[in-house]
Amino acid sequence: MTTVVLFHHALGRTEGVLALGRRLAAAGHEVHTPDLFDGAVFDTVERGVGHAEAIGFDAILQRATVAVDGLPDGVVHAGLSLGVMPAQLLAQTRRGARGAVLLEACVPPSEFGGSWPAGLPLQVHGMTGDPFFGGEGDLDVARALAAQEPAAEVFTYDGDAHLFTDSSQPGHDAAATDLVVERVLAFLERVG
């Protein structure tokens, strides 16, 4: 069993985020899905990002740090889109991180004060036509990271939906999400 912290995207901790967490938990993993928005849920990415900006990204990262304070070492930090920021920060800086799963986003490691920790397992998943993941450079960042880090894997999926792994969203792709879950579960078994 692996302990996973799954950080939600800009729409908040939606039912789809919780459902994704339950799928990982059903395989025997301990999954935490902290709510960084204090219950707020949004119907567009723009509104959710606006809310995140009003809170402040530094405050969101602080909330994420507090959310994992009581957890043991050996956590896999995971995030969806906006949730990749706290997942990646904690994977890079929290003692004993076991790995990271970044869904639909990837940030240059230098944003969090350094490079990717050598040997720390990483998976990045996203749709090539996603205007955020593919169109804003996240895919390029993920590929560059994987070229430098042998423990990093990048998986791409056909399509142009953002938040395709969230079953409560209109862009949800069930088949692609099934493949993501299969790959993430294999990853958790390897690093667990």
Give a three-class secondary structure readout of 72-101.
CCCEEEEEEHHHHHHHHHHHHHCCCCCEEE
| Tokens, residue 95 | 């003692």
Phi, psi torsion values for 143, nearest 5 degrees: -65, -40
Domain 3-191 falls under CATH 3.40.50.1820: yes
CA distance 49 to 144: 26
CA distance 61 to 88: 10
Q: Where are the domains of the chain?
A: 3-191
Task: Quote the radius of gyration of the chain (alpha carbons, Å).
Answer: 15
| Residues in Cβ contact with 70 at an 8 Å cutoff, skipping those fewer than 6 apart | none
Beta bridge partners of 101: 78, 123
What is the DSSP pairing of strand 75-80 with strand 30-32? unpaired
Closest CA to 92 of 81, 103, 77: 77
- pLDDT for position 40: 95
pLDDT (tens place) for every residue of the chain, 192 residues total: 899 999 999 999 999 999 999 999 999 999 999 999 999 999 999 999 999 999 999 999 999 999 999 998 899 999 999 999 999 999 999 988 999 999 999 999 999 988 999 999 999 999 999 999 999 999 999 999 999 999 999 999 999 999 999 999 999 999 999 999 999 999 999 998
pTM attached to this predicted model: 0.96
